[in-house]
Structure 1
Amino acid sequence: MPARDRLSAAFVNSAPVGKHCDGQGLWLVKRPDHKGKCAQWMLRITIHGRRREMGLGGFPQVSLAQARELAKEWRGVARAGKDPVKERERQAREAARADQTLRTVALEAFEARKAELKGDGKAGRWFSPLELHVLPKLGGVPVTELDQRDIRDTLAPLWHTKADTARKAMNRLNIVLKHGAALGLDVDLQATEKAKALLGKSRHEAKNIPAMPWAEVPTFYATLTEQTPTHLAMRLLILTGVRSNPLRHLRLDQLDGDVWTIPGEAMKGRKGATSDFRVPLSREALAVIELARPFEREGYLFANVRKGVLSDMTLSQHMKRAGQEARPHGFRSSLRDWLAEATNTPHEVAETILGHTTDSAVVRAYRRTDFLEQRRVLAERWADHVTGGAGQVVKMVGAV
């Protein structure tokens, strides 16, 4: 029989850096980066002709006696013909399935919905209202025991001060409860509605993002004279009327002549529309893109100097430093107001410029056009205005 119980508690307590064998495959591993008494227990087992290594925990959290008991247990699993590593993983999965806490069910619901969440799923923004405001208090509560009073007490601090955040958290909770019901758990599907009744009507008044009057846009645009990613991104944002996210993530392979095609999954606010979105580029917009090309990295036109792409905060901070109350997203309102007040653009064309969907799914199914040619004319007129043109009323010839 192989030697066993080679180590003593005193030696383990002051073991030098290195690997120390206790016998029968149990090792104490202490690396140079392990400060003080910190070390790791490791069990080496040969199963089905190959050697496996599995951690048994750290010392001093796991004592020498406990490590020996764990090693004995897993050696028994190996003698029964099972891979200890895989067996432990199987046990962990079973324990997770038995875990009915709100946190576990919420994470399952998030994973199940990722495919339909577009960028929000990838970035985790869908989950953040729960992660930040609900799970710290209720994460350990079994989802079957969650009731309206728990939800009310948790969201009450936000209900009248951060209404949009509270609304998102409530909606996410409702989805999690439905997911729990789909798993066969006995949850109260009315808990969120009951909680809303207990909380009452929110006193918070939503404020629109500050926007610059369209007549003042040319003056601001004229200040964007530097050939930097920030100035160029701001110029293209104004010229195209797109949201910040697809603008900052613009890739060169999305450009084809004077058309920029934004992938459908990158578009927000187009419920019921999954196709890509084409943006006509004015001559001014094309000139801005050419100026930005030297800053391209890994295919992204507006790359960050360190990693990734230009941040949304960078654009907002630029406007703040310039003494502007308006914010980058507000230029979409500037463009929409210009369309309404300085042109006779039909409603559906104006809304399409902003990437909004109009009418019912049935109407959209029969109306296949995205008004690209009409939008191309308007893009040039808007560019003329932004760069100091007259901004005269635009006659939409042949508009439907």
Structure 2
Amino acid sequence: MTIRITKKSERKLYAGYPLIQPDDLQEVPQNFSPNWLDFIDSKGNFIASGYLGKQNKGIGWLVNWHGSVDSAFLQDLFFQAKRQRAIYEQDPATSAYRLFNGEGDGLGGLTIDRYNDFVVFSWYNETLYNMKEEIVQAFRKSVPDIIGGYEKIRFSNQTLPESQKLFGEEAPEPLLIVENGVTYATYLNDGLMTGIFLDQKDVRGRLIEGIAAGKTVLNMFSYTGAFSVASAMGGAMGTTSVDLAKRSLPKTREQFEVNHLDSDAQKIVVMDVFEYFKYAVRKNLSYDVIVLDPPSFARNKKKVFSVAKNYGDLVKDAVDILSSTGLLIASTNAANISIEKYKKMIIQALEEKKVRYQFKETYQLPNDFRTNKQFEEGNYLKVFFIEIKK
């Protein structure tokens, strides 16, 4: 089956841009085919093969600009992805990393994360999920050392469980992985999240190296406290982890304990982050290092938060409880905000607080999260280390 592209979209798609939007097509089919498709230009010439599948980014992906998609092509994609991660495979200090990163490795709509000898497949649209037998079979032929797999359903579906075992052996709970020599407890079949966000490995690595050594660290939106553990392992004098989710308390304690650190010596607070800022001001608390890594969008009973609208407020609140010379680690995974726009938002907030500041270090996705140069929005992570003097 062929899908015809509009003339105005031909150039970008020929150049390797992989994402299909509705206005790229001369006619959007009412029902999407569960098969690989050929995309052709306005004159009927082949552009690339791919598929149509609704997800939050668009309605389909181009996959192969040189021919069709078949089992041999998929096996080669997975083999090349594994080869690109050889440095991680041979590193005894890191056993969890992204093994296949969607369009960055040639197949948008699918990511595969490795945790020791297990993998987690994340499916981002129904079309690709319906082709999973062919995809998983190709993966297992190319990466035969994996002993078990799980899957996460990251598209809207009322009948599928959001997480389930996919093949092979069951992973222990917790599954203890290592990253930069630090241990983290992960759970491969506990909802959509596993207990650690692997895209932050370089930032955690910097904390482990000792950038917060001898300092007090406040970790906001702390989830399972991975930044706090990395800071403590890097010699931080004390950490405070704040998250609204009740389960963040036992999960964060566990992360300290699997590294033989006394969790009672660290502060773990279950509270709304914005309320904690107010509490800290009332109690005259201050911190040498503050980590701000909120979700792109969050809602509680009192407030709706989005990075695009409210990140500057977070920065200003953080400045109020930062030491006279402090370090702000500002992070977002919002793909809809460019790194330039994100930096401007932070600068505007800092200028309003009339503080001196210097952007010291910048991080984006680590090497295992491969990106497509034609698809800049795929490099969604943006992290700044900012020195602030009040």
Q: TM > 0.5 between the two?
A: no
More strand by share: 2
Please state which band the TM-score falls in when normalised by the shorter chain.
Answer: under 0.3
For normalisation by structure 1, the TM-score amounts to 0.26
More helix by share: 1
For normalisation by structure 2, the TM-score amounts to 0.27
